[in-house]
Amino acid sequence: MPQADTKTRILDAAEKLFARDGFHNTSMRGITGLARVNLAAVNYHFGSKDALLLAVIERRIVPLNQIRQEKLQTVLEKAQAAGQPPSARQLLQAFIEPTLAFRSSGPGAEDFIALIGRALSEPDETVRACFIQQVLPIFKLLFAGLHQALPELSDQILLTRLQFTMGAMSHMMCASTRPVLHLPGFPEPLQETEMVAELISFVCSGLEAPC
């Protein structure tokens, strides 16, 4: 196969290593070694390691968020057209499903999913801030939609439960490439599609829990 150009090779390698080892635990030499590219190429093409991380995240998250935004808005518009509040399940589906469907979109995509799954709990601001900035508009949309779907919940409670939802979701995203508690004596983990369906059922029930 004709090998991709330098920038792409760097992005692919960085994505894989950032996801597997974390940002600070990944070295420029590791990245350029895996990409079979000169060490200086990263600083030449991206400027710095931080800027490379930003590029890695943005490359994937911009189209992903676009899909999420479209799906969310479709749900909201259909509900408005029907003169009914949107259903919590549909909103969550619009938010969650694209994230994991995205994983099938290419060989490196699953690494990326693990990377952003861990982003929220990253200690380092570099990763976290970059990710939050990208996902905040979508999150606001989801929040507003769920507010209509579950009007009996106060803002505080809804936000709290949404945090739990994000926790369960990001945990699954991390665990996908590396099962967190897959040990002898425990059953095999579910397939991806079933896992997503289970997650949606789980957080739906959680969000709709009685106050």
| Contact residues for a copy of itself, defined by CB under 8 A | 20-22, 24-25, 117-118, 120-124, 132, 136, 139-140, 143, 154-157, 159-161, 163-172, 174-175, 180-181, 183, 185-190, 195, 198-199, 201-210
**Angle in degrees, CA 56, 15, 41, rounded to 5:** 70
Q: Which is nearer to DNA, 56 or 173 (CB)?
A: 56
**Angle in degrees, CA 208, 128, 150, rounded to 5:** 15
Residue 44 interacts with DNA (CB under 7 A): yes or no: yes
Indicate which single residue of 4, 8, 38, 182 sits in contact with DNA (rule: CB under 7 A): 38
Residue 22 interacts with DNA (CB under 7 A): yes or no: no
**Could you write out the three-class secondary structure of 42-63?**
HHHHCCCHHHHHHHHHHHHHHH
For residue 25, what are the contacts with CB-CB under 8 A and spacing of at least 6? Answer: none
For residue 63, what are the contacts with CB-CB under 8 A and spacing of at least 6? Answer: none
Stretch of residues binding DNA (CB under 7 A), selected from 43-51, 111-119, 125-133, 153-161 = 43-51
Indicate which single residue of 13, 14, 19, 42 sits in contact with DNA (rule: CB under 7 A): 42
Residue 39 interacts with DNA (CB under 7 A): yes or no: yes
Indicate which single residue of 1, 2, 3, 5 sits in contact with DNA (rule: CB under 7 A): 5
Q: How far apart are CA 132 and CA 86, in angstroms?
A: 25
Binding-residue total with DNA (CB under 7 A): 19
Residue 40 interacts with DNA (CB under 7 A): yes or no: yes
Q: How far apart are CA 35 and CA 185, in angstroms?
A: 39
In whole angstroms, the minimum distance from the beta carbon of 55 to DNA comes to 12
In whole angstroms, the minimum distance from the beta carbon of 28 to DNA comes to 3
What dihedral do alpha carbons 86, 146, 97, 94 form, nearest 10°?
40
Residues of this chain that bind DNA (CB under 7 A): 5-6, 26-30, 37-45, 48-50
